[in-house]
Amino acid sequence: MNTPPPTTQAIQERYWQIANDPDERGYTQVRALDSLCRLLDLFPRGQQRDAPPPPPEPEMIDPHLAIAAMSDEDLDALIAREDAEAQARREAEQNEDDDASNEDEDEPP
């Protein structure tokens, strides 16, 4: 025999029965829940202007598909930009190596 689920009214009656009787099991949880509900009523989510909405999840784009969808001009520009960045990194590393070797030469033996 299945018992039917309690009605909303029965749940509400039991809630208030617990909330109004400190000797009832679950009294502190019900009072805490009631306090939380009251706070939420005071500060509904729509009125919280200080908190910006969470940023949308970025779409996962397959880099291979993104490159395949590029025009020839865009692809050439991407390759040129990456080559320039790689060249700049190589030059920066070489300058660091030169600076390190120059510092060694400046020190007296």
| pLDDT at position 49 | 61
| pLDDT at position 34 | 82
**Percent share of the chain, pLDDT over 70:** 81
Question: Side-chain half-sphere of 14: how many Cα atoms within 13 Å?
Answer: 8
Tell me the per-residue pLDDT of 40-88, one tens digit each, with 9 for 90 and over: 777 666 655 666 777 777 777 777 777 777 788 888 998 999 999 999 9
| pLDDT at position 90 | 94
Q: What is the mean pLDDT of residues 5-15?
A: 83
Q: What is the mean pLDDT of residues 80-97?
A: 92
